[in-house]
Each structure stands twice: as structure tokens, then as C-alpha cells.
């Protein structure tokens, strides 16, 4: 069959790949510090410019953004 004899169906619509929209989950980077208190772990979460507080590393002076941006 030659290319000139092929015709496109006017009602045909090609499948489209999904585009980024609100259906896709948005992930936020989060740094977590766990502390064992009375036999169970308590978690503290830090994001963006929040200073990370750690009972083990009290002299630590970093934000979550600094941790996730390291190596860029």
C-alpha cells in the first residue's frame, strides 16, 4: 500500500501521556531524628530552613535544606 492511499480517520485521537498536574504526588524532603524515650521511639521532623535539633548531637548547627543540598 502506498503512502498516498493512507487516510487518517477524522475521529481518531492518539493516546496522550499524562502531563504533570494535581494528580501526581508532591514530595517534600524531610529530615527525621528519632529518640528512644521510655521504651518507644519519638520522632521529630525537620523541613526546609528548620534547624535540626538532636539530643545526641547537640552541637549540630545545620538545617534540613543544608543536609539535602549537600553535594549539589
User: What is the chain's mean pLDDT, rounded?
Assistant: 82
> pLDDT digits over 24-42, tens only?
777 788 999 999 999 999 9
* pLDDT for position 26: 74
- Rounded to whole angstroms, the Cα distance separating 3 from 69 reads 54
Bin 56: left if φ > 0, else alpha if -120 < ψ < 50, else beta: alpha
Domains of the chain, by residue range, sit at 27-70
Residue 72 binned pLDDT confidence (cut-offs 50, 70, 90): confident
Amino acid at each position: 500500500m502506498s503512502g498516498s492511499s493512507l487516510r487518517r480517520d477524522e475521529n481518531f485521537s492518539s493516546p496522550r501521556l499524562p502531563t504533570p498536574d494535581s494528580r501526581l504526588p508532591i514530595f517534600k524532603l524531610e529530615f527525621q531524628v528519632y529518640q528512644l524515650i521510655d521504651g518507644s521511639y519519638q520522632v521529630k521532623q525537620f523541613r526546609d530552613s528548620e534547624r535540626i535539633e538532636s539530643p545526641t548531637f547537640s552541637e549540630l548547627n545545620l538545617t534540613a535544606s543544608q543536609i539535602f543540598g549537600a553535594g549539589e
